[in-house]
Amino acid sequence: MWFFARDPVRDFPFELSPELPEGGPPGPWVLHRGRKKATGSPVSIFVYDVKPGVEEQTQVAKAAFKRLKTLRHPNILAYIDGLETDRCLHIVTEAVTPLGAYLKARAEAGDLRELELSWGLHQIVKALSFLVNDCSLIHNNVCMAAVFVDRAGEWKLGGLDYMYSAQGNGGGPPRKGIPELEQYDPPELADGSGRAAREKWSADMWRLGCLIWEVFNGPLPRAAALRNPGKIPKSLVPHYCELVGANPKVRPNPARFLQNCRAPGGFMNNRFVETNLFLEEIQIKEPAEKQKFFQELSKSLDSFPEDFCRHKVLPQLLTAFEFGSAGAVVLTPLFKVGKFLGAAEYQRKIIPVVVKMFSSTDRAMRIRLLQQMEQFIQYLDEPTVNTQIFPHVVHGFLDTNPAIREQTVKSMLLLAPKLNETNLNVELMKHFARLQAKDEQGPIRCNTTVCLGKIGSYLSAGTRHRVLTSAFSRATKDPFAPSRVAGVLGFAATHNLYSMTDCAHKILPVLCSLTVDPERSVRDQAFKAIRSFLSKLESVSEDPTQLAEAEKDVHAASSPGMGGAAASWAGWAVTGVSSLTSKLIRAHPTAAPAETNVPQRPVPEGLPAPAPTPVPATPTTSDHWETQEESKDAEEDSTAADRWDDEDWGSLEQEAESVLAQQDNWSTGGQASWAGQTSNPGHKSQESDWSSWEAEDAWEQGWQEPSPPEPPPEGTRLASEYNWGGPEPSDKGDPFAALSVRREAGAQPRRDSWGDDNWEGLEAESRQAKAELARKKREERRREMEAKRAEKKTAKGPMKLGTRKLD
């Protein structure tokens, strides 16, 4: 029976890459790229081929194999595995690049910075300090060829071939026999003088001086070149001169050299070195120190090398969130580092953390996630958004903090394209209906309308038909002027989603009522929208064959493209409105915002006057509202990420509870009073879906039975009597600003060119009747509940605290 010997090289769990060798230190070792067979992870493999007649060199290689296997230090090349046979030696280490090749590539790319050189030299000196002071070992081979760089830009000390004990246990230093390495020997070794007068670290510190010269000036041609510092930074020159001094006694200990360079104004006293030192000791730092560090880290990341951010900072950020108490402060640097990652790596490393963050109850965490959603939304898939993110995000609609409600609304612009049918057309619409009708903050109601106009193209055809007209019509009756503007712009932005019948019967009557709005900005937008809808109707009237083309999107499925075209057509200005809530909150962070009188819609005579609505200190109802707000908010949004920690969240909660909410009774169609009501849930309408708006508006009822119109107050001129843009300027002010009350109900009918139809009377009467009926139903329900409570109390008798029923 024959037995075949197994080949240990073939069974080795690592394999060499087919690429050419990278090169390496001068000597017997050759550096190759490699990978682990099981996982494919990259490694570096140092290979030595045993040849006959070079036994001394083979013994040096085996000694280096043993030293690297037993020495463990963060700044010494990390040993992973090895193979020793009669034919070869293989040493597997972490994936590294020779320092010379690394510096050359960085210099050619123009990315080499003095900061990373300072930290690299710091690491090499620290490794020498460990060998000399802790292990009593002399490296005896410090040079450019003995230093390697890993993927994070960390410098590692290798080349342990000629290491020997400083205590003389293993004899003297081994003979090198390589001229390229002997040029780094100090002068006292060349002439054999002063051997007893030097310190044990003197020779290695001379070689460190040679390494510093080569890092800044390139390969060392001869020892005499060390006299000229060349490109060595001025802050490092005094310490460099100590290293290459002729007297070995004055060469400093590696620990003292580090201390000197870390002194104020020293070469290694910079933010990059401090950040690395903190990261090395982050596990033993106090929570307060970690919080401060992560808050300041984001400012410095722009000046740090990209590889360092990806491979050293990012793992520490992920660990701090996963196992520490860093909380929301890691978000800003985390997303900043995420920009350096590819799509696959981002999906693998950051998305799981983001998904977990959305389930946090920390308000600071939630608002930062919402405001920075733009940076990671493209990496989220639809199942993750619908099942793990959206259920947590919707809680923000019910938050008592106005800032969180605002950011939740704005985040829907990014989430809507990824929401499924139920979440988008049912759940989201319920929250939007409640916010637009019941939120006490006018800017949030305005933002809700703006967001609905933006995402209208993503809704299903049935939801669009049921929601859009009713929602924008309700917005046009809002006491907050920007909300009325948003309602008009909402109609304009979604103009292609309405049938011609809806344009004529539902939209134009609403827009026409805004032509007499007290606010100039509302009237201007209303006239623009009216002209657009009229031109559309006129073109179809002249050529009925265009009807199919005009209504092609009405019953079409949701399409992202429609929203973009409509938005550009309408001049959709979201920026000016989007941060009004933030202004309202930040104006008085510790007290309720001051209330100023906003021009209200006209109310019938005899009803209480509208209550003042809280608005930002800056007027938002001027003629240049959109352009002014757009320019201001662009600056605010650019620095929003730096103001998270300045927010007084506790005072915002108190403010939200103390502000009197102006209850908008939409069931009266804008003719009932908005005054005298607070944000008491018992007085709010219970309607929470969009279908109720259509029933409340009852557009057709006011047109079926004509009745004589009501006359205007005395002195009011007809619209046809004004100069609407003629050559002669009018000597009177804005005619609409004087309209403070509606027509008196009992005045005599007056006929004009519009005919005999009463366009408001029946509609107002119908709405008032509905409001009275709803009030009676609530009263009956209250009496029934009180009767049931009294009956239960009488049957059971008074309950006693502390009693227990015995078996």
3-class secondary structure per residue, 604-625? CCCCCCCCCCECCCCCCCCCCH
Cα–Cα distance, 451 to 455 (Å, whole number) = 6
% of residues, the chain, pLDDT over 90: 34
Cα–Cα distance, 394 to 431 (Å, whole number) = 8
Q: pLDDT band for 191, please (50, 70, 90 cuts).
A: low
Q: For 367-382, give the DSSP string.
A: HHHHHTGGGTGGG--H
Calculate mean pLDDT across residues 72-78. Answer: 93
pLDDT digits (tens, 9 = 90+) for 333-370: 999 998 888 888 898 889 988 888 888 888 888 888 99
648: left (phi over 0), alpha (psi -120 to 50) or beta: beta
pLDDT digits (tens, 9 = 90+) for 289-309: 888 898 889 888 988 999 899
Q: How many CB atoms lie within 10 A of CB 124?
A: 24
Calculate mean pLDDT across residues 429-449. Answer: 93
- Which helix (DSSP H) or strand (DSSP E) does residue 391 occupy? helix 390-393
pLDDT of residue 468: 93
Query: Residue 149 pairs with which residues in a beta bridge?
Result: 97, 155
Calculate mean pLDDT across residues 192-213. Answer: 79
pLDDT of residue 325: 66
Three-point CA angle 652, 430, 373, nearest 5°:
55
Least-confidence region, from 79-83, 170-174, 670-674: 670-674
pLDDT of residue 613: 36
- The residues, ordered by sequence, that sit 6+ positions from 178 with a Cβ below 8 Å of its Cβ are 26, 27
Helix axes 363-371, 402-415, angle to 10 degrees: 40
Closest C-alpha among 490, 411, 485 to residue 442:
485
For residue 583, what are its two tokens?
Answer: 């202004």
pLDDT digits (tens, 9 = 90+) for 579-607: 444 443 343 333 333 333 333 434 333 33
SS3 label, residue 48: strand
- Which helix (DSSP H) or strand (DSSP E) does residue 658 occupy? helix 649-658
- Cβ contacts of 188-193, under 8 Å, gap ≥ 24: 188/248
Cα–Cα distance, 441 to 263 (Å, whole number) = 55
Q: Residue 196 to residues 188, 193, 249: CA-CA distances in angstroms? A: 10, 8, 10
For residue 504, what are its two tokens?
Answer: 């004529």
Backbone torsions φ then ψ of 76, nearest 5 degrees: -115, 140
Calculate mean pLDDT across residues 774-783. Answer: 88
Amino acid at 676: G
Whether 510 has a pLDDT exceeding 60, the answer reads yes
Calculate mean pLDDT across residues 560-582. Answer: 41
Whether 676 has a pLDDT exceeding 60, the answer reads no
Cα–Cα distance, 787 to 790 (Å, whole number) = 5
pLDDT of residue 443: 93
pLDDT digits (tens, 9 = 90+) for 47-72: 888 888 778 888 888 888 999 999 99
pLDDT digits (tens, 9 = 90+) for 113-129: 899 999 999 999 999 99
Cα–Cα distance, 490 to 469 (Å, whole number) = 9
Cα–Cα distance, 405 to 124 (Å, whole number) = 53
pLDDT of residue 792: 79
For residue 106, what are its two tokens?
Answer: 């960085």
% of residues, the chain, pLDDT over 70: 68
Calculate mean pLDDT across residues 701-723. Answer: 41
pLDDT of residue 427: 94
Amino acid at 524: D
Domains of the chain: 14-96 (3.30.200.20), 98-272 (1.10.510.10), 286-340 (no CATH), 461-555+571-581 (no CATH)
**Beta pairing class for 137-138 and 164-165:** antiparallel
Calculate mean pLDDT across residues 22-28. Answer: 59
Q: In the sheet where 147-150 sits, what is the strand order?
A: 96-98, 147-150, 155-157
Least-confidence region, from 73-77, 437-441, 459-463, 679-683: 679-683
For residue 580, what are its two tokens?
Answer: 């009004």
Whether 667 has a pLDDT exceeding 50, the answer reads no
- Cβ contacts of 752-758, under 8 Å, gap ≥ 24: 752/709, 752/718, 753/720, 754/709, 755/706, 756/706, 756/707, 756/708, 756/709, 757/703, 757/706, 757/707, 757/709, 758/702, 758/706, 758/707, 758/708, 758/709, 758/710
Amino acid at 323: F
Calculate mean pLDDT across residues 700-725. Answer: 41
Which comes out higher in pLDDT, residue 26 or 543? 543
pLDDT of residue 192: 57
pLDDT of residue 450: 94
C-beta of residue 85 within 8 angstroms of C-beta of residue 47: no
Whether 321 has a pLDDT exceeding 60, the answer reads yes
Whether 236 has a pLDDT exceeding 90, the answer reads yes
Which comes out higher in pLDDT, residue 708 or 429? 429
pLDDT of residue 415: 93
Q: pLDDT band for 740, please (50, 70, 90 cuts).
A: very low
Q: pLDDT band for 733, please (50, 70, 90 cuts).
A: very low
The residue count of the chain comes to 807
Three-point CA angle 451, 641, 278, nearest 5°:
150
- Which helix (DSSP H) or strand (DSSP E) does residue 774 occupy? helix 761-796
Closest C-alpha among 698, 691, 696, 701 to residue 665:
696
pLDDT of residue 12: 80
pLDDT of residue 18: 62
Query: Residue 89 pairs with which residues in a beta bridge?
Result: 48, 84
Closest C-alpha among 351, 398, 345 to residue 376:
351
Q: pLDDT band for 795, please (50, 70, 90 cuts).
A: low
Q: Is residue 22 packed enough to be buried (19+ CB in 10 Å), middle (13-18) or exposed (0-12)?
A: middle
Q: How many CB atoms lie within 10 A of CB 97?
A: 18
SS3 label, residue 602: coil
Least-confidence region, from 55-69, 122-136, 311-325, 460-474: 311-325
Q: How many CB atoms lie within 10 A of CB 705?
A: 10
Q: Is residue 475 packed enough to be buried (19+ CB in 10 Å), middle (13-18) or exposed (0-12)?
A: buried
Calculate mean pLDDT across residues 778-805. Answer: 72
Query: Residue 91 pairs with which residues in a beta bridge?
Result: 46, 82
C-beta of residue 392 within 8 angstroms of C-beta of residue 359: yes
Cα–Cα distance, 678 to 661 (Å, whole number) = 5
Backbone torsions φ then ψ of 74, nearest 5 degrees: -60, -25
Which comes out higher in pLDDT, residue 249 or 611? 249
Q: Residue 522 to residues 8, 526, 768: CA-CA distances in angstroms? A: 84, 6, 27
Cα–Cα distance, 135 to 63 (Å, whole number) = 16
Q: pLDDT band for 168, please (50, 70, 90 cuts).
A: confident
Q: Is residue 313 packed enough to be buried (19+ CB in 10 Å), middle (13-18) or exposed (0-12)?
A: buried
Mean pLDDT of the chain: 74
Q: pLDDT band for 719, please (50, 70, 90 cuts).
A: very low
- Whole-prediction pTM: 0.64
SS3 label, residue 66: helix
pLDDT digits (tens, 9 = 90+) for 364-420: 888 889 988 998 899 888 999 999 999 999 999 999 999 999 999 999 999 999 999
pLDDT of residue 109: 84
Q: Residue 703 to residues 114, 133, 290, 530, 650: CA-CA distances in angstroms? A: 79, 98, 69, 20, 52
Q: pLDDT band for 475, please (50, 70, 90 cuts).
A: very high
**Beta pairing class for 88-94 and 96-98:** unpaired
Counts for the chain of helices (H) and strands (E), in that order:
37, 10
